[in-house]
Amino acid sequence: MNIKFRLTVLNFFELFVFGAWLISLGGYLGGQLHFSGSQIGKVFMTLGLASIIMPAIVGIIADKYLNAQKLLGLLHILGAGFLFYLSQITDFDSFFWIIFGYLMVYMPTIGLANAVSYSVLEQNKFDIIKVFPPIRVWGTIGFIVALWMIDFLGWTQSANQFYFAAGFSLFLGLYAFTLPNVPTSKSENKSLISRLGLDAFVLFKDKKMAIFFIFSMMLGIVLQISNAWASEFIRSFTGAYPDSFAVKHSNILISLSQISETAFILTIPFFLKRFGIKAVMMMSMLAWFFRFALFGIGNPEGMGLGFLVLSMIVYGMAFDFFNISGSLFVETETNNKFRSSAQGLFMLLTNGLGAFIGGYTSGLIVDYFTTNGIRDWTTIWFVFAAYALILALVFAKIFKYKHNPEVIKNIKD
């Protein structure tokens, strides 16, 4: 079987398993298990916590002790067990710890799947920069396909979504063992501190980099808000708009965000070359403002549905212009000594600490604007929008950066 196709299958199901439950989870927790806003926020907080703790540890194991493809397979098989058990849990305390356990084994597999792909492509003499992106985009497609399947099967409010994800996690775990061997690296001596990016804290001596990292963490706070609350928000319209497309097919509506994401990735080289990192980061912050504000004025019918669709479209700019452009900025502004550690620090602050804070605080905000079980979603979304807008205005004022197109001249349109 063609090796590129085999890696495409790996990347497709890597995010397929995630998409099978992530987007519909918030609505399921609120609609079926009747968790409070703070409880739902704490559940999503575990994504950030797992992202802080596990990737570096798993990376060391893959480098020194166990072949990466075997470790990937083992983690997905363990994950299948967690997901199967999760489908039977209805109380908050048990659900919190089981999903935390699952994410501790799942979150590091995202980076591990990339590492396996890179190694196998290199072994087969492929140009990784040219060949890997078309393979990786199938991961996003897998995420979208899973969203649609859960929607059409009518499982967005059912524990069946976890059984479904568990089955494919088991399949992926077994499949990983069939991939070409990725040798361990006995010469790899990176410490846990280095892998977490903590030795890159020396970059905080540079005012420009310190400001960038701080704002990256603050913007990272919004990353999980949509995942946590979009489904629960749309579910709230069930009483007033029970027959609307948005209510009946919330996953399909929300999947427009991921479709937009795949489109905006292609525009990043143009915007970075033309406007520079400061402008692109501000575009991301303003896109987050519009993402939340449009939710605040949206509803499932007429113009309101148009606002929801627009919110899904701007998500691509909000997410990609921050995550990918921020990573490129770190790559171009740090020297070789700290480059890998700086990337680790960027991920730790955004997908780790930022997502952790965002999950917890968003739950508190939702509860604050909830009275007798009724959530004031307009105010809730406007609070999130105001945060993103203030962040953009302050960033524009204090982040000093002169755009030099030559620095990124090698980025291809």
Give the pLDDT score at 192.
Answer: 61
Residue 126 sits in the same domain as residue 59: yes
Residue 162 sits in the same domain as residue 209: no
Q: Kindly state the tokens that stand for 337.
A: 């000594």
Domain boundary among 180, 202, 231: 180
Place of tokens 């999903």: 99
Question: How many domains does the chain divide into?
Answer: 2
Residue 402 burial class via C-beta count within 10 angstroms: exposed 0-12, middle 13-18, buried 19 and up: exposed
Instruction: Fill in the DSSP letter of residue 180.
Output: P
Domain boundary among 180, 211, 238: 180
Give the pLDDT score at 413.
Answer: 47
Residue 119 sits in the same domain as residue 253: no
The count of residues in the chain is 413
Q: Kindly state the tokens that stand for 302.
A: 């007429």
Give the pLDDT score at 326.
Answer: 79
pLDDT along the chain (413 residues), means of 10: 91 96 95 95 94 81 84 96 96 97 94 87 83 87 95 95 98 96 66 63 81 89 88 93 93 93 84 84 94 96 95 92 79 68 78 91 96 94 96 90 62 48
Q: Compute the mean pLDDT over every residue in the chain, rounded to the nearest whole number.
A: 88
**Helix H or strand E segment including 375:** strand 374-375
Domain boundary among 158, 180, 202: 180
d(CA 354, CA 298): 27
Asked, for residue 186, whether it belongs to a domain, the answer is no
d(CA 309, CA 316): 12
The model carries a pTM of 0.86
Give the pLDDT score at 194.
Answer: 64
The model's pLDDT over 277-328, given as tens digits with 9 standing for 90+, comes to 888 889 999 999 999 999 999 999 999 999 999 999 999 999 888 887 777 7
Range of the domain at 247: 192-413
Give the pLDDT score at 187.
Answer: 46
Q: Contact, 13 vs 168, CB < 8 A?
A: yes
- The residue type at 109: T
Residues 6+ apart with CB under 8 A from 370: 36, 37, 376
Q: Kindly state the tokens that stand for 256.
A: 């427009």
Q: Contact, 41 vs 366, CB < 8 A?
A: yes
Asked, for residue 187, whether it belongs to a domain, the answer is no
| CATH code assigned at 43 | 1.20.1250.20
- The residue type at 18: F
d(CA 321, CA 395): 15
Residue 304 sits in the same domain as residue 241: yes
